[in-house]
Amino acid sequence: MMTTDPTSPKSSWFWQRSLQYRLVFTYGVLFFVVLVLLMGLVARIVYTAQMSDAEHNLALQAFLAASSLEDPLSGYGSEFEAFARREADETRKEDDEHAGESSDDEDERRIEIAPQSPGAVTAPILARLDQVARTYARDTGARVTILDARGDPVVDSAFATNLFGNQWAQPEVQNALQREEMRSIRFDPVTGQRTLFVAAPIEQGATLLGFVQLARPLREISLGIWSLLLQILGIGVAAVSVATAFVYWIAHQIVRPLQTLETAALSVAAGDLDQRVPVERADEIGALGRAFNHMAQEVAQMMAQQRHFVANASHELRTPLTNIRLRSEALLGGIHDTALAQRYLSEIDSEADRLGRLATDLLDLSRLDSLSAKVEAAQAEAIDLLPQLRALAETHRLRIEQMGLTFTVDLPANLPRVRIWPDQLESILVNLLDNAAKFTPRGGEILLSAETADDCVHIRVRDTGEGIPAEDLPHIFDSFYRVDKARSPRRSHRSQSSGAGLGLSIVRTLVAQNNGRIEVSSTVGQGSAFVLRFPCSH
């Protein structure tokens, strides 16, 4: 059953509660920002390029129109020239009439006007010019105005010329005079729209005949630009959508195994220790799955070991308890044989003793397994082993020799310092010496020696006892493991050991916690050797 963990983080946003949505949201926003920036850049480039293209085209068209009006062979040139001559003639007449009235500026404005051509007829010429203007307007899509040399409109492809006045002062006309860039963007008073104007001079030799002015509303140009930008935006939005969908898929691929893992972890927490997740990938998520499976396997193993341990412990506790109860019941029932009653009492005492030691060993094991014991062991100080080993040997010598065994101690003059807890080293060696004494027949020998090798201190406890069969060697450090239960240690020394198979298990734990290793070699009938290796402390 799933319960709500009060410590679980609370997120106010839905996407913070799902890794998949978080990835999609983050990348979606990122793609969108990139799209906006890119679109801004593209719009700028497209606008600039399109505008300059439109200006260039319009200028080219103006130039072509002007050229055709200049060229006598084009069919229009001579007519425009005739018109210009006639205009100039009329202007001169007006000037003569208003001699002295005209300003210097106006004189300057008429740079070089073509001479008068007698007999020219204005109306048909204007009709022809109008046709020219309309033809170019149709071809270019722009409004075409033909101006005379003073900037007055002669014909316009779209409007009556009286709707707008003299164009001399307009920047594109002035620029055309200077042969500079011939464009200007401004409001067209006739249409009321922002318009791009270009102008080109119409010349014959050094004589200025007039100008061709082309006008195109900016709206027309920008419509083209907008449609192009919309197309690019469409492609961009499609690309972002595809990319976001791809991120959604990738995120789903990441999240799916995590969800499986979560379900499996909850099942394990609920007690299903056989729960495993499929590992299909070689990446970090695959590694996580493998680590989970390994963890579940270890937990299952630990639980099995613990169950086994508890079963063994209760069995070991029950045996002496049964022995005690049987004897106490017999005693309570009334035994007249005093010797038998005495024996029962002694056996009860011995079993109680055994029970006590068993309880101590069990407590030791559980204390050693605790985290604080491991931390404490890691903080051991470096000690000089020699005085410790000598004192230990002397304490045990008498007891071993009383058992009819020879006790040889072979220690070097110097030993490097070793990081170890002295009382734990004593527990280890007492266990090993007890076992050696227990399983060595009278007349045998027990040897305690130490030496330095490969940056390690080796402490060896060897005996010439009955040895351990090869098939039992890998198990003797397991809790409650005893070699061939029928084979009992020397009965006379039985009371010195718990005999529950916990001694070597405690030894192994103590050695490991002091960063050491223990190895055993044994030959049945010849004896056993236990070697402790502790790293030297520098």
Nearest to 82 by CA among 121, 112, 111: 121
The binder of ligand ADP chosen from 60, 237, 481, 490 (CB under 6 A): 481
Nearest to 409 by CA among 484, 337, 477, 459: 459
Nearer to ligand ADP, 247 or 529 (CB): 529
Nearer to ligand ADP, 333 or 525 (CB): 525
| Smallest separation, CB 262 to ligand ADP (Å) | 42
**Conformation bin of residue 383: beta by default, left when phi > 0, alpha when psi is -120 to 50:** beta
| Smallest separation, CB 403 to ligand ADP (Å) | 13
The binder of ligand ADP chosen from 63, 309, 407, 439 (CB under 6 A): 439
Cβ-contact 19, 255 below 8 angstroms? yes
Nearer to ligand ADP, 208 or 529 (CB): 529
| Smallest separation, CB 503 to ligand ADP (Å) | 3
| Smallest separation, CB 365 to ligand ADP (Å) | 11
In this structure, the chain runs to a length of 538
The SS3 assignment for 495 reads: helix
Using CB under 6 A, which of the segments 65-73, 211-219, 258-266, 480-488 binds ligand ADP? 480-488
Q: How far is CA 90 from the centre of its chain?
A: 86
257 lies in the site for ligand ADP, by CB under 6 A: no
320 lies in the site for ligand ADP, by CB under 6 A: no
Q: How far apart are the two ends of the chain, measured CA to CA in Å? A: 54
| Smallest separation, CB 301 to ligand ADP (Å) | 21
Nearer to ligand ADP, 129 or 500 (CB): 500
Interface with ligand ADP: number of residues (CB under 6 A): 22
Listed in sequence order, the residues at least 6 apart from 12 whose beta carbon sits closer than 8 Å to its beta carbon are none
Which positions from 484 to 513 touch ligand ADP by CB under 6 A, shown as an x/- string?
-------------xxxxxxxxx--------
SS3 content of the chain, % helix, strand, coil (to 5): 60, 15, 25
Listed in sequence order, the residues at least 6 apart from 165 whose beta carbon sits closer than 8 Å to its beta carbon are none
Cβ-contact 468, 520 below 8 angstroms? yes
Q: What is the DSSP letter of 157?
A: S
The binder of ligand ADP chosen from 468, 510, 511, 518 (CB under 6 A): 468
Nearer to ligand ADP, 334 or 525 (CB): 525
The binder of ligand ADP chosen from 61, 157, 170, 435 (CB under 6 A): 435
- Which residue in the shown chain puts its C-beta closest to ligand ADP? 503
Cβ-contact 148, 87 below 8 angstroms? yes
Q: Which residues bind to ligand ADP, rule: CB under 6 A?
A: 435-436, 439, 463, 465-468, 476, 481-483, 497-505, 528
